[in-house]
Amino acid sequence: MEHQPYTHLTDADYDSKLREMGNYLWTLEQDLLAAASRQDETLTNQVEQKISRLVATADRFFTVPGRHRSLAAYVAGLGLRMIGNWADATNRFLRVLELSPMNAEAWLELSWCLAEAGNWQECELAARKGTEFFPETGAVWGNLAIALDNLGRSDEALSAAQTALRFDPQDTRSKGLVDRLSRKDEPPGSDPGGQPSSATPDRD
């Protein structure tokens, strides 16, 4: 029988449970990366199933009225992003932003999902919004650079990638983009690659 959310729980109860789920998702993401690096398909599938179950729980929590709904959508989005379900992850982060337009982490995560899905115009908008909240975070500048590059705006992409490297000199994605755009001898467009930064769940 399908489990339903406990409607007698308070917003604080849901908030606490969702934060525990969010923290567990970060642990599972590391397990997923380790399994992928070992090419362990069995373990990868097991971890993805655990993540999918957490997503389903967060989605059920979202259906219960209360202030926790923004966090529920964020946690579901995280899980979906971790298993590469870009369209559904995008949907969940848009839900967050409908409820909490100033949620900085959701803008950052949204830009990652849009980049992975190749939705470059939307990615540019989300990444620019992200730079307003995280002006000194290399990841969001890197997402902006990738979007601009794929939109054929090389000079802007180069500037954004250089900004990303200023804040994160170890960002190989942006370094590769700077190297290529500086030479200007390769066509625009590159794999988003990399991994999203570990943004903390919504604290609204």
**Interior/surface letters 153-169, b for 16+ CB within 10 angstroms, e for the rest:** beebbbbbbbbbbebbe
pLDDT of residue 50: 97
Which stretches within the chain are classed as H helix? Answer: 11-37, 41-62, 69-82, 86-99, 104-117, 120-133, 138-150, 154-167, 172-183
For domain 102-192, which architecture applies? Alpha Horseshoe (1.25)
Other CB atoms within 10 Å distance of the CB of residue 13: 13
Cα 192 to Cα 49: distance, rounded to the nearest angstrom: 25
Cα 40 to Cα 69: distance, rounded to the nearest angstrom: 35
Note the residue count of the chain: 204
Domain(s) labelled CATH 1.20.58 in the chain stretch across 9-100
Count of helices and strands (H, E) across the chain: 9, 0
**HSE-CB for 6 with a 13 A CA cutoff:** 8
- Picking from 193, 165, 197, 194, the residue whose alpha carbon sits closest to that of residue 179 is 165
Domain(s) labelled CATH 1.25.40.10 in the chain stretch across 102-192
Round the average pLDDT of the chain to a whole number and report it: 89
Q: What is the pLDDT of residues 148-196, one digit of tens each?
A: 999 999 999 999 999 999 999 999 999 999 999 998 755 555 554 555 5
For the entire predicted model, the pTM comes to 0.83
Q: What is the pLDDT of residues 15-45, one digit of tens each?
A: 999 999 999 999 999 999 999 999 999 999 9
Decide if 174 contacts 165 (C-beta within 8 A). yes
| CATH number, domain 9-100, options 1.20.58, 1.10.287, 3.40.50, 1.10.3470 | 1.20.58
Phi, psi of 32 (to 5 degrees): -65, -45
